[in-house]
């Protein structure tokens, strides 16, 4: 059992890497769909119907942040800052925008809850191994 635990201990850095890649791909894909599939006006309309404040502003910001933020997370730059944004965005989605947390529709919020948790990990632990930020920018806040 101790051998297994030691092996698992050794996988920590890899765990952060694969989480970063998975989260980045999910965000890029979601942002791509909003930017090039639905289009900004469609997203603004969707946000408006959802009763979001500043729907026209958020309708531009969210797709851009998801697409380019996701690319930066994959590359491993500004992951901590982007993690904070994820915590805010997906936290709001779980608590306020899709508040069916305990009902039948909770399955809809699963992915947002997971991305919220992943954002906390990115914000607190940074990008892990194989990341561009620490190599190029050499500023801890830009990790």
Partner 1 sequence: MNGLVMWLDGQKGNALSVCRMAMGLILVISGYNKLFNTGIPQVIEGFTNMGLFAAPVLGLLVPILEFFGGAAILLGLFSRLLSIWVVVQFFIITVYVKPILIGDGWNGTRIDVVLACLGFLVAAHGPGPLSLAGRLFRGMRWAE
Binding residues vs partner 1 (CB under 8 A)? 1-2, 4-5, 8-9, 11-12, 14-16, 18-19, 22-23, 26, 29, 80, 106-107, 110-111, 113-118, 120-121, 123-125, 140-141, 143
Nearer to partner 1, 64 or 101 (CB): 101
CB 77 within 8 A of CB 136: yes
Between 51 and 104, whose beta carbon lies closer to partner 1? 104
Closer CB to partner 1, residue 61 or residue 111?
Answer: 111
User: Encoding tokens for residue 43?
Assistant: 């997203």
Residues belonging to the chain: 143
Structural tokens at position 102: 């305990």
Q: How far is the CB of 23 from partner 1 (least distance, A)?
A: 7
Spatial separation of the C-alpha atoms in residues 19 and 22, rounded to whole Å: 5
Residue 51's alpha-carbon distances to 44, 48, 61, 96, 98, in angstroms, are 11, 5, 16, 11, 12
Minimum Å distance from CB 54 to partner 1? 25
Q: Cβ of residue 53: shortest distance to partner 1, in angstroms?
A: 26
Alpha helices in 11-143 (DSSP H): 12-32, 40-49, 55-75, 79-92, 106-125, 132-136
Give the nearest distance from C-beta 26 to partner 1 in angstroms.
5
Q: Which is nearer to partner 1, 57 or 129 (CB)?
A: 129
Smallest separation (angstroms) from partner 1 to the CB of 107: 8
For residue 86, count other CB atoms closer than 10 A to its CB: 28
Nearer to partner 1, 53 or 107 (CB): 107
């Amino acid at each position: 059992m101790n051998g297994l635990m030691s092996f698992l201990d050794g996988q920590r850095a890899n765990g952060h890497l694969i989480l970063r890649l998975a989260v980045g791909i999910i965000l890029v894909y979601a942002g791509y769909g909003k930017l090039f599939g639905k289009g900004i006006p469609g997203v603004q309309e969707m946000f408006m119907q959802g009763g979001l404040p500043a729907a026209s502003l958020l309708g531009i910001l969210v797709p851009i942040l998801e697409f380019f933020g996701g690319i930066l997370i994959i590359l491993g730059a500004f992951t901590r800052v982007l993690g904070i944004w994820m915590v805010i965005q997906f936290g709001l989605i779980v608590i306020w925008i899709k508040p069916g947390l305990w009902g039948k529709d909770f399955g809809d919020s699963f992915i947002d809850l997971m991305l919220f948790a992943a954002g906390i990990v990115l914000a607190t632990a940074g990008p892990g191994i194989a990341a561009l930020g620490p190599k190029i920018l050499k500023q801890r806040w830009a990790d």
